[in-house]
Amino acid sequence: MNFDSEKKKKKFNVYDLFRDLEKFYGILYMLLLAFLILLGSKYVKTLDYNNLFSAPGLLAADSNMRVALPVKKGQMTPPVDVIKFSTESPELIAKGKELYSTNCVSCHGETGEGNGSAGAALNPPPRNFVNPKFWKNSPSYAGMYVTLEEGIANTGMASFSNIPPEDRFALIQYLHTFNPTFPKANPDSMKALDEKYSLSTGVKAANQIPLTLAMELEILNNDTLTNDLKTIASNIASDKNDTAAAIVKSLFLNENKALYSLSSNMKWTESSQELVKFLSVDPVDKGFRASVYQISATDADRVYVYLKNMFMKNRL
């Protein structure tokens, strides 16, 4: 009897030992984690963010970038005949199919049903081009073009404004083959689309220069920027009969300050929605009247197209 009780007591002590070890290593792990966090925070505080990009490795990488990315002057987007490119043709459909295979198939799938391999992780899922319902901008030519130009916020649909307008029309023609019931292009909607994006006149794209060269030219750019903004202000003032120009003028509280604010953050040029976001944050500090909060969607589109054209045409 005594032997059995000693055996049970020995088993109980071994169990307690392992249980104590678990507690010990758990506490040790938490202390180590806290130490690493404290050490990391102290290291971050020692970083000199102002000189962070002066590290030799980063400078070397940027020097290589300067060679790989030469100065590229912004080109004028050629005028587009929207009626011609919205009229279906086998050649444009074939071209659109190639563009779809290159740019869209990974998310939207070969059959256009939103079942591409890269789209599986997207939320919301990619557009099903076969389904005529639940479209953000409608499956019409104009609606699809707006989507390709501006993208759709809070989704995986990015803007395809980097491809030429005629390629976008070719892509739209191919997308319409997924569902023959999609509405055809009509002259009125094409005219409105042309006015919104100045397709028949063309728009100048921004210049591309390496980061280091841009930094070296900062002072010169400031002088150039001042001249550009003066030109834009003069052009706006001379527009007497343009309704979009009238709306823009009514929004200015301080014209010079407003134009400088627009030039300091060009993200607004991506879409009218981005412009509204930009104007909605501290408008008075940016040189705009508080009435920008009340601007309608239609007027916002007009202002966006007008200002974007002004800035693109006058950028060197």
**Could you tell me the two tokens for 17?**
């030992």
Per-residue tens of pLDDT for the chain, all 316 residues:
555 555 555 555 555 655 666 677 777 777 887 778 777 766 655 544 444 444 444 333 343 443 444 555 556 678 889 999 999 999 999 999 999 999 999 999 999 999 998 888 788 899 999 999 989 899 999 999 999 988 887 788 888 888 899 999 999 999 999 999 999 998 999 999 998 888 988 766 555 555 555 555 454 455 567 778 888 889 899 988 888 999 999 999 999 889 988 888 888 888 888 898 888 888 888 899 888 878 888 899 999 999 988 888 765 3
181 and 293 Cβ atoms separated by less than 8 Å:
no
185 and 86 Cβ atoms separated by less than 8 Å:
yes
Report the distance separating Cα 29 and Cα 6, nearest Å.
35
pLDDT of residue 220: 47
pLDDT of residue 58: 36
Q: How far is CA 158 from CA 37, 46, 152, 171, in A?
A: 37, 38, 7, 15
pLDDT of residue 247: 92
Residue 171's closest CA among 119, 235, 107, 105?
105
Tell me how many degrees the CA angle 88-89-95 measures, rounded to the nearest 5. Answer: 105
Token look-up 């210049």 returns 207
